[in-house]
């Protein structure tokens, strides 16, 4: 079998620098290169390459699932939205990026997360779950300002 690896770049596009995160951090996105353009991995959007782009890292891997997503804008525990596992571990993502985080970072389908009892934390006050909360989830939620109902 032939091993097919692709080159991915962790890029902060020049026009993105004006959109710094709340804590002042720079936005970095995993992208592929294609004829003078960047292709964003998460949503397949295209943008022209520019000399003001900052390339922080290059990785050659078989799948974007193997990239270090903790270094990109998609995954950070500084966000107030994300997924909470049964052990009370939180995986933060930008609002409305839960499905992308599940696929790219966790490598799990959303339905499987929900069926195994993960909690979708939507914002500082709203969360959803399909299974009874674990004690660790209750602790995390109440420690982070959520009202917990049994």
Q: Are residues 87 and 40 in the same domain?
A: no
Q: What is the pLDDT of residue 80?
A: 93
Q: 51 and 102: one domain? A: no
pLDDT tens for 61-74 read: 998 889 998 888 88
- In a domain, residue 130? The reply is yes
Looking at the fold, whether 36 and 63 belong to one and the same domain comes out as: yes
Contact 7, 58 (CB under 8 A): yes
For residue 47, tell me if it sits in a domain. yes
Q: What local confidence, expressed as pLDDT, does residue 150 receive?
A: 65
Q: What is the pLDDT of residue 44?
A: 85
Residue linked to tokens 């390339």:
55
**Do 38 and 63 fall into the same domain?**
yes
pLDDT for position 76: 87
Q: What is the pLDDT of residue 120?
A: 97
Is residue 132 in some structural domain? yes
> Of 30, 53, 71, which residue is a domain's last?
71
Q: Residue 50: inside a domain, yes or no?
A: yes
Task: Look up the pTM and report it.
Answer: 0.78
In the prediction, which pLDDT does 25 show?
Answer: 63
48, 71, 94 - which closes a domain: 71
Assigned domain for 1 exists: no
Residues 126, 102, single domain; the answer is yes
Which residues of the chain, if any, have pLDDT below 50?
none
Per the structure, how many domains does the chain have?
Answer: 2
* Three-class SS of the chain: CCCCCEEEEEEECHHHHHCCCCCCCCCCEEEEEECCEEEECCCCCEEECCCCCEEEEEEEECCHHHCCHHHCCCCCCCCCEEEECCCCCEEEECCCCHHHHHHHHHCCCHHHHHHCCCEEECCCCCEECCCCCCHHHHHHHHHCCCCCCC
Q: What are the tens digits of pLDDT across the range 5-23?
A: 889 999 998 765 555 555 5
Q: Which domain holds residue 134?
A: 81-143
């Amino acid at each position: 079998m032939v091993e097919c690896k692709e080159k991915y770049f962790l890029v902060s596009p020049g026009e993105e620098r004006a959109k710094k995160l709340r804590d002042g951090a720079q936005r970095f996105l995993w992208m592929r290169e294609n004829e003078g353009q960047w292709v964003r991995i998460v949503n397949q959007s295209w943008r022209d390459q520019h000399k003001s782009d900052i390339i922080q890292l290059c990785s050659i891997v078989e799948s974007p699932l193997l990239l270090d997503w903790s270094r990109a804008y998609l995954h950070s525990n500084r966000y107030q939205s994300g997924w909470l596992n049964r052990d009370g571990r939180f995986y933060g993502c930008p609002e409305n990026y839960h499905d992308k985080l599940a696929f790219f970072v966790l490598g799990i389908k959303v339905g499987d997360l929900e069926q195994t009892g993960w909690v979708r934390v939507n914002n500082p006050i709203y969360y959803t779950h399909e299974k009874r909360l674990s004690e660790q989830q209750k602790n995390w939620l109440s420690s982070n300002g959520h009202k917990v109902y049994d």
